[in-house]
Amino acid sequence: MAKCSYCGASESMPFTCKFCGGKFCAEHRLPENHACPGLVVYKESRGKEPEKWIYEPFKAEYKELAGRVPEKSIAFRLREFFSSLDMRKALYIIVAIILLSVVLRSLGVI
Ligand SMILES: [Zn+2]
Ligand SMILES: [Zn+2]
């Protein structure tokens, strides 16, 4: 007889969680049902988008959802672009724009 690590119920055939190694009753055998600490680590190790993972009870493992990943919006792409620019590059661009405007002004273009 073993006891469920989550609710303490006696289980003659406890389920072992492959993520945290704990023993659980039938009701709490799924990682979601025993606030599994191993699950968080597992999902983080598989990528930063845990909502794309579904639990397969029969294989007792997580699988990436089939189908296309939704397109990234333009706003998201822009945000990605600007966050990838480092400050030094941004500074160079600003200085270049200022210099250009000074040169154009001195030439009487503007
Ligand atoms: Zn239980
Ligand atoms: Zn677990």
- The full set of domain ranges for the chain reads 2-64, 74-106
Residues 6+ apart with CB under 8 A from 67: none
Output the CA angle 98-104-107, nearest 5 degrees: 140
Return d(Cα 88, Cα 52) in angstroms, integer.
36
Distance 28 CA to ligand 2 centre (A): 9
Return d(Cα 28, Cα 17) in angstroms, integer.
10
Top pLDDT among 38 and 60 is at 38
Cβ atoms of 101 and 110 within 8 Å: the answer is yes
Ligand nearest to the CA of 21: 2
Architecture label for domain 2-64: Irregular (4.10)
pLDDT of residue 46 exceeding 70: no
Q: What percent of the chain is modeled with pLDDT above 90?
A: 32
The stretch 9-37 carries a mean pLDDT of 91
Distance 37 CA to ligand 1 centre (A): 15
What pLDDT score does 90 carry?
82
The DSSP code sequence of 80-107 is: HHHHHS-HHHHHHHHHHHHHHHHHHHHT
> What rounded mean pLDDT belongs to the chain?
79
pTM given for the model = 0.40
The stretch 59-68 carries a mean pLDDT of 57
Q: How confident is the model at residue 83 (pLDDT cuts 50, 70, 90)?
A: confident
Beta bridge pairs of residue 53? 64
pLDDT of residue 91 exceeding 90: no
Distance 32 CA to ligand 1 centre (A): 12
What pLDDT score does 110 carry?
65
